Chain A
């Protein structure tokens, strides 16, 4: 007798899984490369953070090296203790916060100001042109931009202009205070145009009728700027502000690495540079990893807080 499969019979769990996989296995296959990539290049290095609690021996590798010890007794926080015991770490932390704080203070309002004025331009073509030009530096690496600024600083033309204006030569790379000024100014130069994009997108959502109504009420340009344009930007500003605050531990490695020298290191060397010099140049991997862990933990907490805050102010959050 021929067995007839009953289509109404309840499927077993295994059958269900099989049917599901037969339809959807390509999706899992498609996810696989990305999963493997992140496992190797993101998750595996996270396990390497144990180095911050170990004494490193090259021939033993990260996993084989013993836990950090002082005079034979295990003290896994050895590297953190030595890190916090000297004033060096605090110095670099202060440098980092000084540079990123000043960048936030002056660099953050710059694109907003630019957008407010761009919005007043009557010629759309001119506006487009200004925008295109202002984006250019964003695409140029700090290797090149740093080289250009170093060359300008050393040139006779620039120094004679400085002498004419200030009565003396101004060297941005041989005075640590001027160097910090250079870092903030060149950061604005590179990012101000690019920073406007997000605000220009926000301005598209401002109702044009508001401007017409304000015209009828006899509002001037600055009044309209203050009462219509700026409030339209507030959501984007608050989200951007929170995101920038969460990046406060990163003062811009590429910019500093490609322009600094020993003379300006006392204010120019940030935690990231300290980590690089200590680890890559100096070969002190555990201590360097400890700094990285410190930075990473603070960064993570700040991003989590930032995301919560963006949701509180009515944004979508980062995820």
Chain B
């Protein structure tokens, strides 16, 4: 009885292997090597994150006067409980990401609509107007002086929301998407007496959900990862974003490494850094599995019509 069960299991296992790896011996060797390469690839891709996770739980404590390595949540407690700056920065970033994304999406979706309307007088001028922003820019310093000395946007939340709110690339992608929507729908709605606002709001916008999701996600990731705006234009510690606080934390430790800190402090600071990294990644990792398809969809749209 036992023997037959083992036999059945072996047979099933062999069949399973053949199903995945192929029927002939040559195919099987090829596939096994291929899968091995990909497992190696996965390990390399994930190793830095495994390191961060392990390091964040590793801390050194004095046990009977001897520094000993222990596993604990000490670093997370230190990050979340000890300093208010990181929590505040998380709150700021969440606010800036949500408001900034809403603003940018509205600006892009509305602005791209007239660009997609054939027969609109002045459309080609508008197209060139947008295109030039893609080709030529004033560069860092004129932009820097504009924000600081002309618009006086330093130390305000507005600076986070306004910078990068519209890009020619996104506008062109949305315009391409609008043009893919059947012109007949527009004509039918116009015949029913709908104005352009209504056609945009009731016909085009509901049909554009995938592209809204795509550009919203791109912008949101950009806002979450933005450190340059805070670095250049925000001096107030209370208004900094998570990337700025992380940057300060991470660079601090590289500066002090090799200096005369006691080893327990050093180890804790390393784990605190990594715990902060994990905390900053959690929001992205939480939504990532659900939104991944929209990211890739956008790239394909961008590749078909720019």
The answer on A and B forming one complex is: yes
Binding site for B on A (CB under 8 A): 20, 24, 26-28, 30-31, 33-35, 37-38, 40-49, 51, 61-62, 114, 117, 120-123, 126, 130, 132-137, 139-141, 143-152, 154-155, 157, 189, 193-194, 197-198, 201, 221, 236, 254, 258, 261, 275-276, 279-280, 285, 288-289, 292-293, 295-296, 300, 303-304, 316-319
- Stretch in B6-14, B84-92, B125-133 with 4+ CB within 8 Å of A: B125-133
Which residue of the partner chain B has the closest CB to A285? B141
Q: Is B260 an interface residue (CB 8 A)?
A: no
- A26 to B196 alpha-carbon distance, docked (Å): 6
Q: Is B299 an interface residue (CB 8 A)?
A: yes
Known: A27-B196, A30-B200. 6 other contacts (CB 8 A): A38-B130, A44-B138, A45-B142, A122-B21, A139-B221, A295-B139
| Contact-residue size bin, chain B (C-beta under 8 Å from the other chain) | 35 or more
Contact at B137–A296, with CB atoms within 8 Å? yes
A-B contact pairs, 28 of them (CB 8 A): A26-B197, A31-B111, A31-B126, A33-B111, A34-B166, A38-B129, A41-B166, A42-B133, A42-B137, A43-B133, A45-B143, A46-B137, A48-B143, A48-B145, A49-B139, A51-B141, A135-B295, A139-B225, A139-B284, A141-B243, A144-B281, A147-B246, A152-B51, A155-B55, A275-B139, A280-B140, A292-B142, A304-B135
0 or 1 for each of B28-50: is its CB under 8 Å from A? (1 = yes):
00110011011001101110110
Chain B residues in 8 Å Cβ range of A295: 139
Which residue of the partner chain B has the closest CB to A193? B45
Which residue of the partner chain B has the closest CB to A150? B254
Which residue of the partner chain A has the closest CB to B104? A37
Query: Which one of A41, A145, A258, A295 has the greatest number of beta carbons of chain B within 10 Å?
Result: A41
Chain A residues in 8 Å Cβ range of B165: 37, 41
Contact at A149–B48, with CB atoms within 8 Å? yes
Binding site for A on B (CB under 8 A): 20-22, 30-31, 34-35, 37-38, 41-42, 44-46, 48-49, 51-52, 55, 107-108, 110-115, 117, 120-122, 126, 129-146, 149-151, 162-163, 165-166, 171-172, 195-197, 200, 221, 224-225, 227-228, 232, 243, 246-247, 250, 253-254, 257, 270, 273-274, 277, 280-281, 284, 288-289, 292, 295-296, 299-300, 303-306
Known: A27-B114, A62-B145, A280-B232. A148 touches B51 (CB 8 A): yes
CB distance from A244 to the nearest CB of B (A): 14
- A180 to B303 alpha-carbon distance, docked (Å): 30
Chain B residues in 8 Å Cβ range of A134: 41, 45
Chain B residues in 8 Å Cβ range of A152: 48, 51
Across the interface, A34 reaches (CB within 8 A) one of B111, B120, B138, B197, namely B111
Contact at A133–B196, with CB atoms within 8 Å? no
* 5 residue pairs, one from A and one from B, having the closest CB atoms: A48-B142, A45-B138, A292-B139, A34-B111, A147-B250
- A20 to B120 alpha-carbon distance, docked (Å): 10
Contact at A236–B303, with CB atoms within 8 Å? yes
Chain B residues in 8 Å Cβ range of A193: 45
Chain A residues in 8 Å Cβ range of B136: 46, 296, 300
Contact at B145–A126, with CB atoms within 8 Å? no
- A295 to B34 alpha-carbon distance, docked (Å): 43
Chain A residues in 8 Å Cβ range of B30: 221
- A30 to B165 alpha-carbon distance, docked (Å): 16
Chain B residues in 8 Å Cβ range of A135: 292, 295-296
Known: A31-B114, A37-B165, A122-B31. A46 touches B51 (CB 8 A): no
Which residue of the partner chain A has the closest CB to B112? A34
Known: A26-B197, A45-B142. A189 touches B135 (CB 8 A): no
- A126 to B171 alpha-carbon distance, docked (Å): 35
- A151 to B166 alpha-carbon distance, docked (Å): 35
Which residue of the partner chain B has the closest CB to A56? B145
CB distance from A111 to the nearest CB of B (A): 12
Chain A residues in 8 Å Cβ range of B140: 275-276, 279-280, 288, 292
Chain A residues in 8 Å Cβ range of B224: 141
Across the interface, B141 reaches (CB within 8 A) one of A126, A154, A288, namely A288
Contact at B250–A198, with CB atoms within 8 Å? no
Which residue of the partner chain B has the closest CB to A157? B51
Known: A122-B21, A123-B20. A30 touches B130 (CB 8 A): no
CB distance from B48 to the nearest CB of A (A): 5
Query: Which one of B30, B166, B280, B303 has the greatest number of beta carbons of chain A within 10 Å?
Result: B303
Contact at A35–B129, with CB atoms within 8 Å? yes
Contact at B277–A144, with CB atoms within 8 Å? yes
Contact at B163–A41, with CB atoms within 8 Å? yes
Contact at B107–A34, with CB atoms within 8 Å? yes
Contact at A122–B22, with CB atoms within 8 Å? yes
Chain B residues in 8 Å Cβ range of A130: 38, 41-42
CB distance from A268 to the nearest CB of B (A): 15
Chain B residues in 8 Å Cβ range of A296: 136-139
CB distance from A50 to the nearest CB of B (A): 9
- A280 to B228 alpha-carbon distance, docked (Å): 12
- A279 to B144 alpha-carbon distance, docked (Å): 10
Chain A residues in 8 Å Cβ range of B22: 122
Which residue of the partner chain A has the closest CB to B300? A201
- A293 to B139 alpha-carbon distance, docked (Å): 7
CB distance from A314 to the nearest CB of B (A): 14
Chain B residues in 8 Å Cβ range of A122: 20-22, 31
CB distance from A56 to the nearest CB of B (A): 9
Contact at B114–A303, with CB atoms within 8 Å? no
Chain A residues in 8 Å Cβ range of B303: 198, 201, 236
- A316 to B130 alpha-carbon distance, docked (Å): 18
Contact at B292–A24, with CB atoms within 8 Å? no
